A and B are shown apart, each in its own frame.
Chain A
Amino acid sequence: MVIKQAKEVLKIEAQSILDLVERVGPEFERAVDMILKAKGRVILTGMGKSGLVGRKISATLNSTGTPSLFLHPAEAIHGDLGMVTPDDIVIAISNSGHTAEVNTILPMLGKIGARIIAFTGGLDSPMAKASDIVIDVGVEREACPMGMAPTASTTAALAMGDALAVALINLRRFNQDDFKKFHPGGILGERLTIKVKEVMLTRDHIPMVQLGSKVKQAIEEINAKNLGATLIVEKNKKLVGIITDGDLRRALTRYKNIHEINVEDITSPLVKTINENQTAAQALELMELNAITHLAIVDRQNRVKGLVHLHDLLGREEFRVNGSFNPTTGAHR
């Protein structure tokens, strides 16, 4: 019984989001455009569970580059309306569109000059009528009996908020550097707390060529491992230096046939190293400080144990845009 009920609830909630797909149209585009062009902030407001949804959407907007805050409708009447400026956009959330506390402040917000976007299922409701743009987040069925708590409707509003935030991310060309700035405690921040040894490349994955080898071998190794560089080591794997794509470009202008010269002729001894027990955040900091994208991991005898690339610290999949790698910031070395 319990399992059946749980499955039913999940189906209803999933359906509520699927139903939104058909309804995303010109109004949504107008809302995105309005927010994008706004000089002020996006202010979320709503009562009860809708208020909680508003808080979450506000947090998502903040962490993805759209300045946002939550305004409690009751507090608004008692003075908090002062935080609203004519440049702000207000997103009011109410499934029915009849929430008295929210509808009370809408005319006041209008007088201030802020523009209003309604997230509601009540397309003919007072809230819809008082708004500049109405985004339909209505659902066909709630998953909770007797309206004890809004369920599918709040899920739908939340999902629409995410759709809005993601649309804005893409239009603002929000990149990973922005994400780091705004979201150090999120998935990415979490990733940066792990130790280097958990993300470094080891054994055969490390691009490595022995001292005395021809540059041709180094080029083959760089191509094979696809990291834009190879470490140069002694026979016992003691680290000597690094050759990067940049070194090869520079060598091309200096040598007539770089295939025939030895790696030591173009190896840079300035390779930076880090201990495997240091954090990914420390590795990232070192890379940023030196404007490099590779760090070698060595033991006490300076023998190579691993290599870490900037992409490994930030999560390689996160750099994929439209199926190809997005160029990241930072010089190669």
Chain B
Amino acid sequence: MEALTPPRGLIADLITPLKLDGSIDGKGLEGILDRVTPFAQAVFLSSPCTGEGKNLDSDERSDLLEKALDVIRGRIPILIWVTQDTEEKTRKTILTLNKTIEGTRDHGQVFWVDTPLYFHSNRGLPAYYRDICSMVDQPFILHNDPELIRGVGTPFKRNNIRTSILKELTALDNIVGLVFLGPLDRAYNYQRACRGRTHFRIYDGDETNFLSYPSTSGVVSVGANLAPGAWHRIVQSSLLLKGEQSNGEDLRQIWELDQYLRGLKDIYQTMPAAVIKEILSDMGIIETPTCTFPVENIEKPKEEIKELMARSGD
């Protein structure tokens, strides 16, 4: 039997709001979720880059998940990045988060997002997942991000999940999707590898890829923190969830939204978490722009984004 059907559409890759002391800003999280959830089909917590997951330990992620579950109350699915820099720590994080879910009523759908090459080579991955899937009920969404892997400088040869390994992994019921970053040629190979699985989702982890050639599973969007309505409209249109475009005015508006979202991305892409937090903090949605890493020189991009958002009415 298939595991939970993963969501389709806009998955908002949320920043992690922090207080000055570095703890999770619950009120800020509520503010962001209130802003985003009406437009998103799911939210992605503690993602490695935007959600600063690389710097959050299992207890911090657990706290973040608990607070998010409390606000969302099962309205939309939650994806949470479970990966740590070793297999042992990753297992510990998954078990900790699993306890958090078990201790919450009305938790709705939760999916583990795991970047296996962050701590593991391709060799032996199927065995690893067979084992880990037997330990928890929540389904997994794999995360393939060659840039992330390159950045951490793992000793492993490959920065991408091998296609043949992915094929083996998709034979496991509890692996239900993949967030994909990288060149489209690899995406086609992955697509072929996953053909046998009904409802297996391959999400675009790269917003530009989605804006150019939209995956029909959906997109993991950083920009949705800033412009959830615009992203919602683009995703709805791209996935034809509302049928085909009906008139020229619709098309013109969508074209303008595309330009707006590409413009935002061009500005925030070098330091998304820091820039977005600054803006959300200025808007009063989160308490502080505190990040888990040192931040400098973001005045210019911040002002550019604010100007772009003001022009677009966001």
Q: Is the CB of B191 within 8 A of A140?
A: yes
Q: Is the CB of B214 within 8 A of A50?
A: no
Minimum CB distance partner of B240 in chain A: A96
Q: Is B242 an interface residue (CB 8 A)?
A: yes
Q: Hey, which chain A residues are within 8 Å of B251, CB to CB?
A: 148
Q: Is the CB of B213 within 8 A of A8?
A: yes
Q: Is B255 an interface residue (CB 8 A)?
A: yes
CB distance from B90 to the nearest CB of A (A): 28
Q: Is A11 an interface residue (CB 8 A)?
A: yes
Q: With contacts A19-B195, A22-B195, A140-B216 known, is A145 near B258, CB below 8 A?
A: yes
Q: Is the CB of B244 within 8 A of A150?
A: yes
Q: Hey, which chain B residues are within 8 Å of A273, CB to CB?
A: none
Could you tell me the distance between the alpha carbons of A48 and B240 in the complex, rounded to whole angstroms?
Answer: 12
Q: Hey, which chain A residues are within 8 Å of B243, CB to CB?
A: 47-48, 94, 96, 98-100
Q: With contacts A15-B191, A95-B240 known, is A146 near B184, CB below 8 A?
A: no
CB distance from A122 to the nearest CB of B (A): 9
* Residues A29-84 near B (CB distance < 8 A): 47-50
Q: Hey, which chain B residues are within 8 Å of A8, CB to CB?
A: 184, 213
Q: Hey, which chain A residues are within 8 Å of B202, CB to CB?
A: 140
Beta-carbon contacts of A127-144 to B below 8 Å, as 1s and 0s? Answer: 000000000001111110
Q: Is the CB of B238 within 8 A of A145?
A: yes
Q: Is A18 an interface residue (CB 8 A)?
A: yes
Partner of A142, one of B185, B188, B214, B255: B214
Q: Is B32 an interface residue (CB 8 A)?
A: no
Minimum CB distance partner of A136 in chain B: B198
Partner of B212, one of A49, A96, A123, A145: A145
Minimum CB distance partner of B251 in chain A: A148
Q: Is the CB of B239 within 8 A of A147?
A: yes
Q: Hey, which chain A residues are within 8 Å of B184, CB to CB?
A: 8, 11-12, 141
Q: Is the CB of A99 within 8 A of B191?
A: no
Q: Is the CB of B244 within 8 A of A49?
A: yes
* Residues A262-316 near B (CB distance < 8 A): none
Q: Hey, which chain A residues are within 8 Å of B191, CB to CB?
A: 15, 19, 140-141
Q: Is the CB of B195 within 8 A of A98?
A: no
Minimum CB distance partner of B242 in chain A: A98
Q: Is B192 an interface residue (CB 8 A)?
A: yes
Could you tell me the distance between the alpha carbons of A146 and B188 in the complex, rounded to whole angstroms?
Answer: 20
Could you tell me the distance between the alpha carbons of A95 and B257 in the complex, rounded to whole angstroms?
Answer: 23
Partner of B238, one of A9, A19, A146: A146
Q: Is B237 an interface residue (CB 8 A)?
A: yes
Could you tell me the distance between the alpha carbons of A15 and B215 in the complex, rounded to whole angstroms?
Answer: 13
Minimum CB distance partner of B187 in chain A: A141
Minimum CB distance partner of A102 in chain B: B243
Q: Is A241 an interface residue (CB 8 A)?
A: no
Q: Is A207 an interface residue (CB 8 A)?
A: no
Q: With contacts A146-B254, A146-B255 known, is A141 near B213, CB below 8 A?
A: yes
Q: Is the CB of A141 within 8 A of B258?
A: no
Partner of B188, one of A11, A121, A149: A11
A-B contacts, 14 of them at CB < 8 A, read A11-B184, A11-B185, A15-B188, A19-B191, A96-B239, A100-B243, A140-B202, A141-B184, A141-B187, A146-B237, A146-B238, A147-B236, A148-B254, A150-B240
